[in-house]
Chains A and B, each alone.
Chain A
């Protein structure tokens, strides 16, 4: 997944960077190197740029540049929204409040402890494809299941 897709509050690890030379040099100089742990802190009111924190310092970056930075989540538990970028098996850990929302997921058959599968960016529950909005996918926390 790319850094610009990461939602605020999630810690990610930098895997690769593919940016124009000058930008890359500047970021490497500031400590953004593969292996560094960063967290998106905030997205600007108009949707761009973002602020990420790196070793306790907050640095701004436009989404265009953040597109060139490949990252992966550090923590086991993450919003389903992020999990959708990575194919695999996930277990639902928790779901946030919202009466209508809870009713909807209940109807879909999603409960805590349920297994979900992500394949090519599509979500499956027991082999059945499921469509969720971004807001909804953010309200469901999942944990990656090994194997």
Chain B
């Protein structure tokens, strides 16, 4: 097959309106968002696994007097109409909204990217090919002749790297110049050979009126290959039905011809050092997915992450703690004991400060998660774990989403969008709040340090293990309740390993950590102020006579079997807003500074023994998702029923599980 050119289009001398809309389209994980960030200076979420971006994102940059809006789209391998991503992307391209499309392709393995490019060329859209990760191609000794690519594909080509910045200026220039041109560089018309061309011509001749929203030739080909969208439209407009075999055969022939062309183009334009040595990526892979090593390594990594956030970060946490305590004491000293000093010291500093002390732990956790996501290990872990997940009616893909939940449940719920199977997706959404997120960490650390100063690491680990178990068993249970179906297939492209750059890690950690800081400055601050008022009035500082006391005492019946005091009950109630608020509530209600573990131990110790304290943590681990997660579950499932289910189910599980722990713990300790 050879491309036939339809002549060069004239260059328009007309000045652009000054506004250009550019859509970034490409396969999953090629580096669209990285390019988006590099062009617009944004700090969107980038990671080394397919399916990171799940929403359209828009950013702007100025170049040569033009205002260029860039739209980052979710990645797709093809532009059929099968998955949600494909639908979103294709609709957007065909809508005519973008003036120009930048096809972001992989420099190292361009085949699939070029396939996508040809699809867009057939949609007769103006498109630039930006082959990204050029730095990696160079490192591997791959030589790319961009003029050769340009010649065969009929579109402008740039080689770029979002990491080194190479080619970015060229791309910007090209975007401005090319969008100001009328028409495309040259219209490439792929010739599919006489038999297929004849079929296409027949269809075109039978088209009574021109299809809306798609070029006729493209429409005809999509009709012949039984495209979900256009086949139906074609039938409506009077074209005859085709047998399924014919449609599939046509579709596969189209794909085959394109791939043949691409193979030839790559042969012409690519040169690589031939000898195939065991690459570093393969060597690492060999060890990480090894028959006997993979599981021990996975757990070792998890343990390291855990140790890192728990021990290494603790040094910094202790320093912050000291600072906040001293600040509080200083204020009281200066202002004397009154409502204002109490508001500042007990309300603001104790409430928000107690949560802020955990910033180092949380940042360290995100740093470790960033490493996990950026290195490319995450999808490998999914591959290794798939068999186990299958036992719980899940797949390695949902494993990836769930693992993200250790950071934040909201992001794990969001990331389920790429799960193709709707049932598996729903189940993953419903179980993901059980994964113990970073917001629960402060509560664990506070209580464990008070009650189990010598065994806190082991108990923390057991809490996390428990959270994973509950998550998995819940999947079996929910599946048993509602579906009893099969689990969906696992088709994931494994990315190249990448050593995370300092900048990427910093961006990742800061983006995630910033969210936590924001929360401390908004929800937790407001909650602390509210709690302070409720706790200070009307007793003027006497906690036992406060509004809080009335609310708390009215709620204690809920935890009758556990014998929780009203303060503990109330902290759980307030904690429904965000789990960190539990920490604020406890420090305020009991009025202690964290640094004084001894005082804390003596006040809390009056009401709780170690068994009760651990039961409390089990409850905190499992009980209702925070408000942000509930809202996300609602917006992602679009169903009040499932949202309610999630809340009630988790409460039920938390209650029965902690009751079990309480009873067993009681037996063990008493005997």
Contact = CB atoms under 8 A, between A and B. Distances in A.
Given A42-B289, A45-B289, A49-B383, A31 B491 contact: no
Interface in A1-26: 22-23, 25-26
Nearest to A27: B491
Interface string A48-76: 11010001111111101100000000000
A33 B493 contact: no
A47 interface: yes
B58 interface: no
Contact of A45 (B109, B384, B493): B384
A59 B388 contact: no
A56 B282 CA distance: 12
Interface in A84-104: none
Interface in A30-44: 30-31, 33-36, 42, 44
B383 A30 contact: no
A25 B109 CA distance: 21
Contacts of A29: 77-78, 80, 82, 86
Nearest to B421: A22
Task: Bin chain A's interface residue count.
Answer: 20 to 34
Contact of A31 (B115, B251, B294, B492): B115
Given A29-B80, A44-B383, A45-B290, A58 B493 contact: yes
B112 A47 contact: no
B252 interface: yes
Contacts of A62: 386, 390, 489-490
B587 to A, nearest CB: 46
A56 B489 CA distance: 22
B386 A49 contact: yes
A28 interface: yes
Interface string A100-117: 000000000000000000
Given A48-B386, A49-B386, A57 B490 contact: no
A42 B109 contact: no
Given A26-B83, A45-B290, A62-B489, A31 B494 contact: no
A57 B387 contact: no
Q: Which residue, B295, B383, B388, has most C-beta atoms of chain A within 10 A?
A: B383
B259 A47 contact: no
B664 to A, nearest CB: 32
Contacts of A51: 289, 383, 494
Contacts of B82: 22, 25-26, 29
Contacts of B111: 31, 55-57
Contact of A61 (B115, B294, B388, B491): B491
B482 interface: no
26 contacts: A22-B82, A26-B491, A28-B252, A29-B78, A29-B86, A30-B78, A30-B493, A31-B77, A31-B255, A31-B259, A33-B255, A42-B285, A42-B289, A44-B387, A45-B289, A46-B388, A49-B386, A51-B383, A56-B111, A57-B112, A58-B494, A59-B491, A59-B493, A61-B489, A61-B490, A65-B491
